[in-house]
């Protein structure tokens, strides 16, 4: 009995050590998943038939009821309809089955739940520079559903934790019988099991990236935009970390997602592979801006109030690569004003002055422009700015105060 | 001699590692509802899963459905015996006169209040301001409005989750038990876990008047204590959770003095 147990524990050692060694050897990068290999595993109107997946879907029913009734959701029918149309276009075979919810959370994120409903954070709409980028993220999330990632990773975890428990128990009993302590090997096997779970999770993300790139390319969006998203995110995180005197996290063995850098590189290769020369691709930037126009001030406002000036400034600069406007200039000023370091006040004043030169400057730009002028002792100009503010926003909560300032 | 010692140790181990705990709190002025009262049960939250060999919990749709039906049936029978008139709603759109959003707000508020009760009453983080004051929490005007609009006297929030050890988990426990004979004793890998709680809200005042938690767990897989899937197990749980409602302290003292 003991000889056999030792054999098994040796195997668990090999498995654990092997996984650890493999992970160390290759770092966290795994081979790129090719878009053409990504075939959807579910068809239209998919319903689970196996017991574990049925259980998972039932659990999700209540989760969806909770999310659908959440007071964090943005209910604007134009926006929600837009997102529904978008997932209906790039969602592959399950396009018509998906539900999509927009939550007012100023972070870069989107997620797909096992039963086919997705949640998009408002911070994503702020960061995407065109429809192709938003479609890329939505297609990535659709990819998780189309490739059945949730149930596959659940089964992977179940299988590995089952095997590990049996192995650990046998090693304990075998070790006790033989009078050897095998705890160190069991720990190594545990590390191996855990590492392999994270690796599996990263492999799924790589699949979803490849699937997403394929889906948007088929719909006529330039697939390179998916790589650009990561370039932007890396830039933003670097800027945010630099401001706080920290370093950006660059990926490790315990990450559930591949590093942003490797995703960007892989997606560039994907894009080169699937872009058909001569085929017209359109990133639909104009349409995108039309659609999100009504909440863009809210998106910028939420971001600026996160007190992360490094990221906010980077974001505004990135969005401005497609052209400055009054809104972006105003929020550039807000970043400086709220940061309030030496020299920030004149910087903010300059931004407000630049903002009001655009026809789309928000009312608040005139208000802050007026205050900046007042501080500089330019009372006449300030009064004109306040007057403009009051015409644009006669019911402003601070109207009485501004009227008094304007004299 | 040695064998008997081992058996005694095992028995003690099993006794220590499987237990059912229940602890209720009530508003000092609370009197358990009786007579002709109308009780609204809002979306009972029931989940039953199976613990896999390695400890992961697999949700089971069929068991959950069975348990939910059994619990609702047991609850109706129990409340009817006290004179209560029970309505159970499963979805937020089933309550006439109240919008889904309003109901969602009350549910979310109740969830936050329940979490606070659990933190300050059960997890040992007692609040000096609430010492000796029984259960002193309220859902406020929202709950009163719900009562006015619907005509119910009380709202009951019920949560029940049960995790049943699978065959593989039990086998792992038996393997651990077998190891006891050669010096590696590990039968306590973790077995059935059940957690149920309920809060009763008086819809006339908005106050949470009564709260109870039943926690049952066994470290040794294979030991059972009321299986929610069966009508008998569900009735046992409903009895443990709601069957022994005690009046609040002020009410108890008043009845003693009388």
Neighbours of A178 (CB within 10 A): 16
pLDDT, mean of residues A202-228:
93
In angstroms, what separates the C-alpha of B147 from chain A's closest C-alpha? 21
Contact A256, A28 (CB under 8 A): no
Structure confidence at residue A261 (pLDDT): 86
**CA B118/CA B14 separation, integer angstroms:** 28
A58: nearest CB among B61, B100, B176 = B61
Q: Is A170 on the interface with B (CB under 8 A)?
A: yes
Structure confidence at residue A200 (pLDDT): 76
Structure confidence at residue A317 (pLDDT): 95
Is the pLDDT score of A361 beyond 90? yes
Q: Which of A61-70, A191-200, A371-380, B72-81 has the lowest mean pLDDT?
A: A191-200
Q: Tell which wins on pLDDT, A407 or A271.
A: A271
Mark yes or no for CB contact B92/A65 under 8 Å: yes
> What is the DSSP pairing of strand B193-202 with strand B154-165?
antiparallel
Which residues is B21 bridged to in the sheet?
B215
Q: Where are the alpha helices (DSSP H) in B18-140?
A: 61-81, 100-117
Structure confidence at residue A306 (pLDDT): 94
In angstroms, what separates the C-alpha of A159 from chain B's closest C-alpha? 8
Neighbours of A332 (CB within 10 A): 25
Neighbours of A372 (CB within 10 A): 23
B80-84's contacts with Cβ under 8 Å and 24+ in sequence apart are: B82/B32, B82/B33, B82/B34, B83/B34, B83/B35, B83/B36, B83/B37, B84/B33, B84/B37, B84/B38, B84/B39
Q: What is the ipTM of this complex?
A: 0.78
Is the pLDDT score of A196 beyond 80? no
Phi/psi zone of residue A35: left (φ > 0), alpha (ψ -120 to 50 degrees), beta? alpha
Structure confidence at residue B17 (pLDDT): 54
Structure confidence at residue B13 (pLDDT): 41
**CA A369/CA A271 separation, integer angstroms:** 45
pLDDT, mean of residues B82-88:
90
Closest among B12, B53, B14, B146 to B92, alpha carbons compared: B146
Q: Which of A228-237, A262-271, B124-133 has the lowest mean pLDDT?
A: B124-133
pLDDT, mean of residues A330-351:
96
**CA A271/CA A227 separation, integer angstroms:** 8
Banded model confidence at residue B3, pLDDT cuts 50, 70, 90? very low
Closest among B40, B30, B13 to B210, alpha carbons compared: B30
Structure confidence at residue B194 (pLDDT): 85
Closest among A269, A332, A345, A272 to A304, alpha carbons compared: A332
Neighbours of B70 (CB within 10 A): 22
- CA distances, A226 to each of A132, A137, A231 (Å): 8, 7, 9
Phi/psi at A186 (nearest 5 deg)? -60, -40
- Sequence-ordered list of residues with C-beta below 8 angstroms from that of A378, at least 6 positions apart, any chain: none
In angstroms, what separates the C-alpha of B58 from chain A's closest C-alpha? 6
Q: Is A52 on the interface with B (CB under 8 A)?
A: yes
Banded model confidence at residue B18, pLDDT cuts 50, 70, 90? low
pLDDT, mean of residues A1-10:
35
pLDDT in tens, B195-247: 899 999 999 999 999 999 988 887 777 777 778 888 998 999 999 899 888 88
Mark yes or no for CB contact A54/B61 under 8 Å: yes
Structure confidence at residue B2 (pLDDT): 42
pTM: 0.82
Structure confidence at residue A195 (pLDDT): 75
Q: Is A331 on the interface with B (CB under 8 A)?
A: no
Residue whose token pair is 């058909």: A276
Banded model confidence at residue A190, pLDDT cuts 50, 70, 90? confident
Structure confidence at residue A243 (pLDDT): 87
> What is the DSSP pairing of strand B84-89 with strand B37-51?
parallel
User: What is the average pLDDT score of chain B?
Assistant: 85
Q: Is B131 on the interface with A (CB under 8 A)?
A: no
Q: Which two tokens stand for residue B218?
A: 């066994």
> What is the DSSP pairing of strand B84-89 with strand A117-121?
unpaired
Kindly list the residues from chain A whose CB atom is less than 8 angstroms away from the CB atom of residue B186: 169, 172
Is the pLDDT score of A122 beyond 70? yes
pLDDT, mean of residues A147-164:
88
pLDDT in tens, A61-107: 888 988 998 889 999 999 999 999 999 999 999 999 999 999 999 99
Q: Side-chain half-sphere of A16: how many Cα atoms within 13 Å? A: 21
pLDDT, mean of residues B79-85:
89
Mark yes or no for CB contact B59/A172 under 8 Å: no
**CA A95/CA A219 separation, integer angstroms:** 12
| B contact residues 93-112, partner A, Cβ 8 Å cutoff | 100-101, 104-105, 108
Structure confidence at residue A325 (pLDDT): 95
Structure confidence at residue A30 (pLDDT): 62
Banded model confidence at residue B14, pLDDT cuts 50, 70, 90? very low
CA dihedral B218, B223, B226, B230 (to 10 degrees): 130
| Sheet bearing A117-121, strands edge to edge | A99-103, A117-121, A110-112
User: What is the average pLDDT score of chain A?
Assistant: 87
Residue whose token pair is 């004051």: B133
B142, B184, B191, B229, best to mutate vs chain A, most A CBs in 10 Å: B184
Q: Which two tokens stand for residue A363?
A: 């009312």
């Amino acid at each position: 009995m003991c000889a056999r147990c030792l054999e098994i524990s040796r195997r668990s050692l090999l498995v654990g050590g092997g996984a650890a060694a493999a992970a160390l050897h290759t770092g966290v990068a795994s081979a790129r998943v090719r878009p053409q290999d990504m075939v959807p595993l579910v068809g239209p109107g998919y319903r689970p038939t196996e017991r574990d997946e049925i259980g998972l879907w039932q659990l999700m029913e209540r989760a969806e009821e909770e999310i659908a009734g959440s007071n964090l959701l943005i209910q604007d029918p134009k926006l929600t309809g837009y997102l529904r149309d978008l997932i209906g276009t790039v969602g592959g075979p399950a396009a018509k089955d998906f539900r999509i919810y927009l939550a007012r959370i100023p972070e870069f994120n989107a997620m797909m739940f096992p039963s086919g409903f997705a949640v998009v954070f408002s911070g994503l709409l702020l960061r995407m520079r065109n429809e192709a980028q938003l479609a890329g993220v939505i297609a990535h999330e659709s990819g998780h559903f189309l490739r059945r990632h949730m149930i596959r990773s659940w089964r992977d975890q179940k299988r590995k934790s089952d095997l590990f428990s049996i192995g650990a128990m046998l090693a304990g009993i075998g070790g006790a019988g033989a009078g050897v302590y095998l705890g160190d090997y069991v720990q190594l096997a545990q590390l191996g099991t855990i590492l392999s779970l994270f690796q599996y999770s990263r492999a799924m993300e790589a699949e979803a990236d490849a699937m997403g790139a394929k889906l948007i390319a088929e719909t006529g969006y330039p697939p390179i935009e998916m790589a650009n998203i990561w370039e932007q995110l890396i830039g933003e995180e670097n800027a945010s970390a630099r401001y706080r005197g920290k370093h950006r996290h660059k990926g490790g063995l315990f990450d559930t997602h591949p590093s942003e850098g490797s995703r960007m590189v892989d997606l560039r290769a994907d894009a080169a592979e699937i872009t058909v020369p001569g085929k017209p691709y359109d990133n639909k930037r104009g349409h995108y801006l039309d659609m999100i126009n009504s909440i863009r001030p809210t998106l910028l406002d939420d971001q600026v109030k996160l007190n992360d000036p490094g990221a906010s400034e980077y974001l505004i600069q990135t969005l401005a690569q497609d052209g400055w406007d009054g809104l972006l200039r105003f929020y550039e000023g807000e970043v400086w004003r709220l940061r309030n370091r030496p020299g920030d006040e004149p910087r903010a004043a300059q931004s407000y002055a630049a903002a009001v030169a655009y026809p789309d400057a928000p009312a608040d730009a005139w208000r802050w422009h007026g205050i900046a002028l007042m501080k500089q002792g330019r009372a006449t100009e300030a009064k004109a700015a306040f007057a403009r503010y009051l015409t644009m926003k006669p019911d402003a909560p601070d109207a009485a105060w501004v009227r008094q300032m304007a004299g | 001699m040695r064998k008997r010692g081992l058996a005694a140790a095992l028995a003690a181990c099993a006794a220590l590692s499987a237990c059912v705990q229940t602890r209720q709190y009530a508003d000092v002025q609370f009197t358990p509802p009786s007579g002709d009262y109308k009780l609204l049960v809002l979306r009972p939250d029931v989940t039953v899963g199976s613990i896999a060999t390695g400890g992961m919990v697999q949700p089971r749709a069929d068991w959950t459905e069975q348990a939910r039906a059994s619990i609702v049936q047991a609850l109706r029978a129990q409340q009817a015996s006290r004179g209560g008139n029970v309505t159970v709603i499963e979805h937020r759109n089933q309550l006439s006169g109240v919008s889904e959003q309003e109901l969602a707000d009350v549910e979310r508020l109740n969830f936050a209040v329940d979490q606070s009760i659990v933190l300050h009453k059960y997890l040992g983080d007692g609040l000096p301001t609430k010492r000796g004051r029984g259960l002193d929490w309220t859902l406020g005007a929202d709950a009163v409005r719900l009562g006015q609009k619907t005509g119910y006297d009380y709202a009951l929030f019920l949560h029940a989750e049960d995790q049943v050890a699978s065959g593989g988990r039990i086998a792992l426990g038996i393997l651990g038990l077998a190891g006891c004979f050669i010096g590696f004793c590990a039968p306590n890998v973790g077995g059935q876990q059940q957690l149920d709680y309920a809060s009763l809200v008086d819809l006339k005042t908005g106050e949470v008047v009564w709260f109870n938690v039943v926690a049952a767990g066994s470290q040794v897989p294979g030991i059972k204590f009321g299986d929610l899937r069966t009508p008998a197990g569900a009735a046992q749980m409903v009895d443990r959770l709601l069957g022994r409602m005690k009046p609040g302290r002020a009410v108890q003292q008043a009845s003693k003095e009388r």
